[in-house]
Structure 1
Amino acid sequence: MTSPHDKLKDVWLYLANGLFFKAKSFGAEKTSVGELVFNTSLTGYQEITTDPSYAGQFICFTMPEIGIVGTNKQDMESRGIFAKGILCHHYNSKFSNFRAEESLGEFLKKFNTMGICAIPTRLLTRTLREEGAMMMIASTEISNKNELKKLLESSPKIEEINYIKEVSTQTPYQHYKGKFDFQSMDYTTPKTYQKILAIDFGIKQSILNQLVSAGFGVEVIPHDFEAQSLIARYAQGEFDGIFLSNGPGDPQVLHTEIAEIKKLIAAKIPLFAICLGHQLLSLAHGYPTHKLKFGHHGGNHPVKNLLTQEIEITAQNHNYSVPESIQEVAEVTHRNLFDNTIEGVRYKNALICSFQHHPEAGPGPLESTMLFNAFAKLLQDAKA
């Protein structure tokens, strides 16, 4: 019996632990090196693939069927794809959705991104759970195991690469769109009550939409900001707070950004951060982050709000965590119930709060979206 995969081009994979696979390619035909992680989300493969936080990584989907709903413009989380590629068990080239514009394979090729199928994703996921996230190489051009091994070993590790310059905006811009309304099939335009600067380390569109929906006028600025310029603008009343965004890679390599964030902290500017921004705040306060064994990537992570004792099912995408010692300067407000790692903090004697999980989801449950409104209220109360 033939399979639709039989018509696809062969692709070969070599993992840092020595595993070697022959699979099928439905995306760009090339040779690429990146870190392999797994994602447990059941839906939203386009949002996940276009999340800039995946820059430098291959995403192994545990959901066995990928491609069913195609792709469209509304589900873009950034201007393109920064991930190295995606891996799935079964790729569906035929899609069915009233919003779909093209297949996932066509979408990946347009952004020169690899798509790999007909591979045992359960084995890959179990391997990563047992051995941790690891580097891999995939190629539609090279089939020799030893040659792939040599190329992988000579390539830089993901911890050695600064992807922020690649994913961040180069020029400031205003973001006006709120959440997408599926009844009108358009974005909402909520009333603005306060202004916030969003520092782009790889920001998702869903985060910007949620900030606007919480009543913020949003100005997005590049990662290479100068703190003194922002401090002067804050003193002139040009904005009410600063948001530090999500982003890819190891936060400890961002020495310049950490130094500038220290100045923002010293200036007592209200700060709100998610994911990489959360980690950078920890580093700026003098508390080094550490890499998790295989990270948190998916839409089903239970997080306990220690302030309300409520449980929220959250979306996650990170490989690094802040240390327990951060409690010397911050109150822990949220914890992950899978491994008890810190998911949220509120700094003492400062209007600064940050969260490891993604309250905007995109994709995932929206149980934590109230965090955007909570920060807006903190700013309003501070001015009262």
Structure 2
Amino acid sequence: MKAYIYIENDIFLSTKAFGEGGTFFGELVFNTSLTGYQEIISDPSYAGQFVIFSMPEIGIVGVNDEDNESKEVFASGIIIRELNEDYSNFRANNSLSTYLKKHGKIGLCEIDTRFLVKMIRDCGNLRAVISTEIKDKEELKKMLLSSAKIDEVNYVAQVSTKNSYKHSKGAWEHSKKAYENVKSIGKKVAVIDYGVKENILNELVSVGLEVEVFPYNTKAKELIDLYQKGKIHGVFLSNGPGEPKILKDEIVEIKKLAEAKIPMLGICLGHQLLSNAFGYETYKMKFGQHGANHPVINLANNTVEITAQNHNYNIPEEIAEVAIITHRNLFGDNVEGVRYKNYPIISVQHHPESSSGPHESKYIFKEFLELL
């Protein structure tokens, strides 16, 4: 299909589209991962965003039924240099184009992604509208200017589960072509779903935890009651999309959980919400950090971990007043992980479940287990 993209810095381009046709709005971000495009596309944290892949060849390994991070595709769409329709992988059962069409999302191809990545690097994240229906630049510009900005929309309400459920599946074992069968150690954790990735749930199960997932707007009182009755032993605050400060009610509930001294682990958005709950406001980065190759230094043992990242917001340096900074990102020296001084709470900005990405940070799930 012929497609047109208008970007808010007045760049207007025509190119080709695949997947679902229509008109789509979102914020442009780029991801530097070389592999794992299916996991990236199905990550709920990309809600409201167009993902530009810096890896030029996408679609080579197709898609399969095991690597999805959620049941839906919440990203607005994807932008790639070269689409490979003829996939080749023993695990694949469909093409990327068919996958996007099934989920009602658009993909752009045969476009200079290097130009787009450099543009975002220099200008910061920009909003865009992509259409296979409208080719008039001024009409697209008018539509984009009247559309909601990403920091004005509560995407968490869109991606979170509506009802609580139990998750018992462990991590995928490629050698056995099956999910890991793990025996519970009797510790239970409540996961607050702000847009949780399935592989985070799998990793929690893999360290021996019993996992129950709750909607994003679950009240602290409910979880505190469960904790006091011994029905849960801790709370996990998940990753998720959008501006953390828009979740004012959820920040208040997290503060109540912290005051109850419930052991907690926060990842990505959960990490940011904890900072806001302690009174240290998050800020938006120029173009965020998205990829599976970001170096992070663990300050406890002075070792470097290569991590998976996906975030546009970060917590401030002032968090050191109430927390020990445990990790720093070596690309920008920004705060990457903390352990709160007077609370059984730890949190990290990167994704230790490593999907997609290296496995060097998975120990964080074991640290959470020790807290419990």
> Normalising by structure 1, what TM-score?
0.96
Whether the aligned pair in 2 keeps the contact of 1:300 and 1:315 (CA below 8 Å) is yes
Residues in 2 aligned to 1:361 and 1:16: alpha-carbon distance in whole angstroms? 33
Residue 112 of structure 1 corresponds to which residue in structure 2?
Answer: 104
Residues in 2 aligned to 1:332 and 1:109: alpha-carbon distance in whole angstroms? 43
Is 2:92 the counterpart of 1:100?
yes
3-state DSSP class of the match of 1:303?
A: strand
Whether the aligned pair in 2 keeps the contact of 1:289 and 1:320 (CA below 8 Å) is yes
Residues in 2 aligned to 1:150 and 1:215: alpha-carbon distance in whole angstroms? 53
Residues in 2 aligned to 1:262 and 1:182: alpha-carbon distance in whole angstroms? 40
Q: Which residues in structure 2 correspond to 1:330-345 (within 5 Å)?
A: 330-345=323-338
Which residue of 197, 200, 209 corresponds with 1:204?
197
Which residue of 35, 56, 64 corresponds with 1:72?
64
Is 2:235 the counterpart of 1:242?
yes
Q: Percent identity?
A: 54
Residues in 2 aligned to 1:321 and 1:172: alpha-carbon distance in whole angstroms? 29
Which residue of 142, 147, 151 corresponds with 1:155?
147
Residues in 2 aligned to 1:366 and 1:12: alpha-carbon distance in whole angstroms? 39
Whether the aligned pair in 2 keeps the contact of 1:211 and 1:372 (CA below 8 Å) is yes
Cα shift at 1:173: 0.6
Residue 127 of structure 1 corresponds to which residue in structure 2?
Answer: 119
Q: Which residues in structure 2 correspond to 1:297-336 (within 5 Å)?
A: 297-336=290-329
Residues in 2 aligned to 1:327 and 1:377: alpha-carbon distance in whole angstroms? 23
Q: Gaps spanning 5+ residues in structure 1: where?
A: 1-8, 380-384
Residues in 1 aligned to 2:368 and 2:165: alpha-carbon distance in whole angstroms? 22
Partner AA of 1:262 in structure 2: K
Which residue of 282, 301, 305 corresponds with 1:289?
282
Residue 4 of structure 1 corresponds to which residue in structure 2?
Answer: none
Residue 29 of structure 1 corresponds to which residue in structure 2?
Answer: 21
Cα shift at 1:27: 1.2
Partner AA of 2:211 in structure 1: V
Partner AA of 1:325 in structure 2: E
Residues in 1 aligned to 2:14 and 2:354: alpha-carbon distance in whole angstroms? 34
Residue 34 of structure 2 corresponds to which residue in structure 1?
Answer: 42
Whether the aligned pair in 2 keeps the contact of 1:60 and 1:86 (CA below 8 Å) is yes
3-state DSSP class of the match of 1:237?
A: coil
Per-residue displacement from partner, 1:224-248 (whole Å, max 9, x unpaired)?
1011111111110111100000000
> Normalising by structure 2, what TM-score?
0.99
Residues in 2 aligned to 1:295 and 1:27: alpha-carbon distance in whole angstroms? 26
Whether the aligned pair in 1 keeps the contact of 2:263 and 2:371 (CA below 8 Å) is no
Residues in 2 aligned to 1:271 and 1:377: alpha-carbon distance in whole angstroms? 11
Which residue of 8, 19, 44 corresponds with 1:16?
8
Residue 255 of structure 2 corresponds to which residue in structure 1?
Answer: 262
Whether the aligned pair in 2 keeps the contact of 1:176 and 1:189 (CA below 8 Å) is no
Per-residue displacement from partner, 1:54-112 (whole Å, max 9, x unpaired)?
00000000000000000111010001100000000000110001111110000000000
3-state DSSP class of the match of 1:202?
A: coil
Residues in 2 aligned to 1:174 and 1:228: alpha-carbon distance in whole angstroms? 20
3-state DSSP class of the match of 1:146?
A: helix
Cα shift at 1:349: 1.0
Residues in 1 aligned to 2:21 and 2:148: alpha-carbon distance in whole angstroms? 21
Which residue of 258, 265, 274 corresponds with 2:267?
274
Counting matched residue pairs gives 371
Residues in 2 aligned to 1:318 and 1:201: alpha-carbon distance in whole angstroms? 14
Per-residue displacement from partner, 1:174-217 (whole Å, max 9, x unpaired)?
11011111122110121111111110000001100000011110
Per-residue displacement from partner, 1:331-366 (whole Å, max 9, x unpaired)?
000000000000000001110000000000110011
Partner AA of 1:48 in structure 2: I
Instruction: Supply the RMSD in Å over aligned alpha carbons.
Output: 0.6
Residues in 1 aligned to 2:126 and 2:341: alpha-carbon distance in whole angstroms? 37
Per-residue displacement from partner, 1:287-321 (whole Å, max 9, x unpaired)?
00000000000001000000010000000000000
3-state DSSP class of the match of 1:26?
A: strand
Residues in 2 aligned to 1:361 and 1:168: alpha-carbon distance in whole angstroms? 21
Residues in 2 aligned to 1:293 and 1:308: alpha-carbon distance in whole angstroms? 30
Q: Which residues in structure 2 correspond to 1:79-98 (within 5 Å)?
A: 79-98=71-90
Residues in 1 aligned to 2:116 and 2:325: alpha-carbon distance in whole angstroms? 34
Whether the aligned pair in 1 keeps the contact of 2:323 and 2:341 (CA below 8 Å) is yes
